[in-house]
Amino acid sequence: MPTSTPTQATDFSRRDVLRAGAGAALGAAALGSGVRPALAASDPDEFEAWLADVDNYDGIADERGAAEVTVAVGAPGNDGDFAFEPAAVRVDPGTTVVWEWTGKGGVHNVLDADDAYESEMLTDAGATFERAFESEGVSLYSCLPHQSMGMKGAVLVGGVAAGDAPPEVDYGDWFDGVENFAGTVDRTGRKLVRVAVGAAGNGGHFAFEPAAVRVDPGATVVWEWTSDGDAHSIAAADGSYDADLVDSEGATYALQFDGVGVSKYTCPSHAAQAMRGAVVVGDPMESVVDVPLSVTIVGGGLLAAALSPLGLAALLKLRETEN
């Protein structure tokens, strides 16, 4: 990967300076929020090639469900503060992406690979540039002065395929009537993932949020009670694990998932309100496969002490099906 100091990195041609300066006002004003972007073709190979030299790219951050998403400009990465963070983000159609400058790494801008939008060259911490993405597709962009260093990013709108992202899981009718379900939220790359219990949804506070989450094998999922919507509990669809009925705000229940598969669960007390969820571990590759589950309770221990006012902790091992 090429290395450069901020001073060297800003040594671009006068034509590019004029293009960035003269066109920036139009980019920031006319294209900043309401105009539909021209999205690059949804080509997984093109997507991977675009991000191949971006050292802070570690997967697509799934921010579907959010009306506005912030991307840091000048985040740590690429041998300095020459990164967008997250480098790749997936949003719903209609979402506004706000790029916010950190003030680090010198002068940066946001430039669409197809010239559909362009910000000014900015350096001040807290400066912003925003764009509303209306149509499904993929938008590739970079920081013009630091593109050669790997300061590039991508916005994926809707469920378009890109890179090596696994396909959406077919849950059958499990999420029928679950109004807060909007697809599987990608939380891969994290060792600990939180799910709210008693989030807004299904006619009250009768939802798990996110309703469906994808994690890496070995990740720990922590369900945390909001105390809204009466007392809630958690029960696996196949009976392999369950948490007590609780109404205390901040109470938690933790499970560590291993192997590959899909675990569906519900709040039995609010089955009529469609309070259901699922944890996808890795990429099951095909339609939903209910993996045989065995539960090992780990008494006390660091996990229980660190995570749980409720005092509940367990290890859930998802074993691959043996033919």
Residues 19 and 148 in one domain: yes
Residue 68 lies in a domain: yes
Q: What is the pLDDT of residue 255?
A: 93
Residue 73 lies in a domain: yes
Name the binding residues for Cu cation.
Answer: 108, 143, 146, 151
207, 195 Cβ separation under 8 angstroms: no
Domain count, the chain: 2
CA dihedral defined by 31, 36, 40, 44, rounded to 10 degrees? Answer: 120
CA dihedral defined by 313, 318, 319, 323, rounded to 10 degrees? Answer: 150
Query: 234 is in which domain, residue-wise?
Result: 185-318
Consecutive H or E run containing 21: helix 14-29
Residue 178 lies in a domain: no
Residues 152 and 95 in one domain: yes
pLDDT digits 0-9 by tens, 37-88 = 334 444 567 888 899 999 998 888 888 888 999 999 999 999 999 999 999 9
Q: What is the pLDDT of residue 17?
A: 28
| Spatial separation of the C-alpha atoms in residues 299 and 290, rounded to whole Å | 27
Whether pTM exceeds 0.85: no
Name the binding residues.
Answer: 108, 143, 146, 151
CATH number at residue 46: 2.60.40.420
Residues 150 and 235 in one domain: no
Residues 223 and 145 in one domain: no
131, 38 Cβ separation under 8 angstroms: no
Residues 76 and 194 in one domain: no
Residue 174 lies in a domain: no
Residue 46 lies in a domain: yes
Residue 11 lies in a domain: yes
Residue 323 lies in a domain: no
Residues 244 and 193 in one domain: yes
Residues 145 and 194 in one domain: no
| Spatial separation of the C-alpha atoms in residues 75 and 82, rounded to whole Å | 6
Consecutive H or E run containing 135: none
Residues 134 and 45 in one domain: yes
Residue 82 lies in a domain: yes
- State the pairing for strand pair 137-142/152-157: antiparallel
Residues 204 and 253 in one domain: yes
**Residue 207, both tokens:** 């939802």
Q: Tell me, rounded to whole angstroms, the distance of Cα 61 from its chain centroid.
A: 3
Residues 291 and 149 in one domain: no
Residues 128 and 196 in one domain: no
Residues 71 and 124 in one domain: yes
- Which residues of the chain, if any, have pLDDT below 70? 1-44, 161, 163-167, 285-323
